[in-house]
Amino acid sequence: MHNQIKGIVTRRIDFKENDEIISVYTPTLGRVPLLVRGAKRANSRYKALTQLFTYGDFTISQREGLSLLYQGETIDYFNQIKADYDKMSHAAYLCELVNQVSQDYEPDKELFEWFLAILQLYNTSVELAGLTHVFELQVLQRLGIGLQLYGCSICNSQHIVGLSLTMGGLVCAQHVSQDDRFLVTDPVVIKTLLALNRQTIDTLANVRLPKETVQVLRQIFNYLFENYSGVYLKSQKFLTVPTKL
Ligand SMILES: [Zn+2]
């Protein structure tokens, strides 16, 4: 049975001499592992279509394991991303997050919509890190380690003195621990994180990180993924973080 799906390529693996297996993340079927015959031949029609984070229209024969590509058209190749190392790094990282948080044939339409909207903005805007953090917040929630950002993590008090990664979110004066391994007290960082957490797909275009928060926010997310997620993200280290502010 042929099935038409729209989706974004999140992984490609060489297979046999001329073929490739790609993962396509779709709103309707989740992640679809897809065999693309002849993808590595010089004259393959699917050179652009099978590139990482290309958004395309795929006609497939759906199987229980590996599905087969019959035909495909590129919807958006994201030229601007592919021409810029920083944009590429962020987009590759998003692909890795999607692969880690999703299962084959288990759809998550909302995550797909975030993913597509953020790639579209990477392509056209200058903001990268802030958009990436919005996506990371979505992924952390799905991994069951979302930050508690509505009042103190322990008592729900609104008198917040910091963000404790050990406690998993905001903390009040009573529940802040002196030997906390990762405590953030800078109000600008906390305010920025709360603003990122309030974003919707419609407001994403307005995301801008204050310069002084860029480095510490990257450290916060690295720490959360490294210590609590159980997933290893090899592309995380390529995300540019200025060492001097
Ligand atoms: Zn408290």
Shared domain for 231 and 140, answered yes or no, is yes
Q: Which of 33, 62, 77 delimits the end of a domain?
A: 77
Task: Give the pLDDT score at 245.
Answer: 42
Task: Give the pLDDT score at 58.
Answer: 97
Shared domain for 88 and 137, answered yes or no, is yes
Shared domain for 125 and 204, answered yes or no, is yes
Which one, of 94, 18, 24, lies nearest residue 59 by Cα?
24
Question: Rounded to the nearest whole angstrom, what is the distance from the C-alpha of residue 181 to the centroid of ligand 1?
Answer: 17
Tokens of 158: 């609104």
Task: Write the burial class of residue 116 (CB in 10 Å: 0-12 exposed, 13-18 middle, 19+ buried).
Answer: buried
**Domain contains 209:** yes
Task: Give the pLDDT score at 236.
Answer: 80
Domains: count for the chain = 2
Task: Write the burial class of residue 140 (CB in 10 Å: 0-12 exposed, 13-18 middle, 19+ buried).
Answer: buried
Question: Rounded to the nearest whole angstrom, what is the distance from the C-alpha of residue 109 to the centroid of ligand 1?
Answer: 35
DSSP class of 232:
-
Question: Rounded to the nearest whole angstrom, what is the distance from the C-alpha of residue 153 to the centroid of ligand 1?
Answer: 6
CATH code of the domain containing 13: 2.40.50.140
Tokens of 239: 């995300």
Shared domain for 99 and 183, answered yes or no, is yes
Question: Rounded to the nearest whole angstrom, what is the distance from the C-alpha of residue 162 to the centroid of ligand 1?
Answer: 10
**Domain contains 140:** yes
Shared domain for 50 and 143, answered yes or no, is no
Shared domain for 97 and 35, answered yes or no, is no
**Domain contains 57:** yes
Distances (CA, A) of 227 to 29, 90, 165: 30, 21, 10
CA-based Rg of the chain, rounded to a whole angstrom? 20
Angle at CA 150, nearest 5°, toward 114 and 119?
A: 15
Residue 69 sits in which domain range? Answer: 2-77
**Domain contains 244:** no
Question: Rounded to the nearest whole angstrom, what is the distance from the C-alpha of residue 161 to the centroid of ligand 1?
Answer: 9
What is the pairing mode between strands 19-26 and 30-36?
Answer: antiparallel
Q: Going residue by residue through the chain, which has 245 residues, state the pLDDT in tens, using 9 for 90 and above.
A: 789 999 999 999 999 999 999 999 999 999 999 999 999 998 999 999 999 999 999 999 998 889 999 999 999 999 999 999 999 999 999 999 999 999 999 999 999 999 999 999 999 999 999 999 999 999 999 999 999 999 999 999 999 999 999 889 999 999 988 667 889 999 999 999 999 999 999 999 999 999 999 999 999 999 999 998 888 788 887 786 655 44
What is the pairing mode between strands 160-164 and 67-76?
Answer: unpaired
Model pTM above 0.75: yes
CB 207 within 8 A of CB 134: yes
Q: Which of 17, 44, 77 delimits the end of a domain?
A: 77
Shared domain for 95 and 47, answered yes or no, is no
Shared domain for 165 and 100, answered yes or no, is yes
Question: Rounded to the nearest whole angstrom, what is the distance from the C-alpha of residue 155 to the centroid of ligand 1?
Answer: 4
Shared domain for 118 and 220, answered yes or no, is yes
Shared domain for 96 and 164, answered yes or no, is yes
**Domain contains 129:** yes
Shared domain for 110 and 218, answered yes or no, is yes
Question: Rounded to the nearest whole angstrom, what is the distance from the C-alpha of residue 195 to the centroid of ligand 1?
Answer: 21
CATH code of the domain containing 137: 1.20.1440.120
Question: Rounded to the nearest whole angstrom, what is the distance from the C-alpha of residue 173 to the centroid of ligand 1?
Answer: 7
Question: Rounded to the nearest whole angstrom, what is the distance from the C-alpha of residue 66 to the centroid of ligand 1?
Answer: 49
Question: Rounded to the nearest whole angstrom, what is the distance from the C-alpha of residue 137 to the centroid of ligand 1?
Answer: 22
Task: State which amino acid sits at residue 152.
Answer: C
CB 123 within 8 A of CB 116: no
Question: Rounded to the nearest whole angstrom, what is the distance from the C-alpha of residue 184 to the centroid of ligand 1?
Answer: 15
CA distance 52 to 23: 9
Q: Which of 77, 94, 111 delimits the end of a domain?
A: 77
How long is the chain? 245
Which one, of 160, 140, 142, lies nearest residue 220 by Cα?
140
Question: Rounded to the nearest whole angstrom, what is the distance from the C-alpha of residue 167 to the centroid of ligand 1?
Answer: 10
CA distance 78 to 30: 21
**Domain contains 245:** no
Shared domain for 41 and 126, answered yes or no, is no
Question: Rounded to the nearest whole angstrom, what is the distance from the C-alpha of residue 101 to the centroid of ligand 1?
Answer: 31
Question: Rounded to the nearest whole angstrom, what is the distance from the C-alpha of residue 152 to the centroid of ligand 1?
Answer: 5
Question: Rounded to the nearest whole angstrom, what is the distance from the C-alpha of residue 159 to the centroid of ligand 1?
Answer: 8
Question: Rounded to the nearest whole angstrom, what is the distance from the C-alpha of residue 176 to the centroid of ligand 1?
Answer: 8
Question: Rounded to the nearest whole angstrom, what is the distance from the C-alpha of residue 201 to the centroid of ligand 1?
Answer: 31
**Domain contains 122:** yes
Question: Rounded to the nearest whole angstrom, what is the distance from the C-alpha of residue 190 to the centroid of ligand 1?
Answer: 16
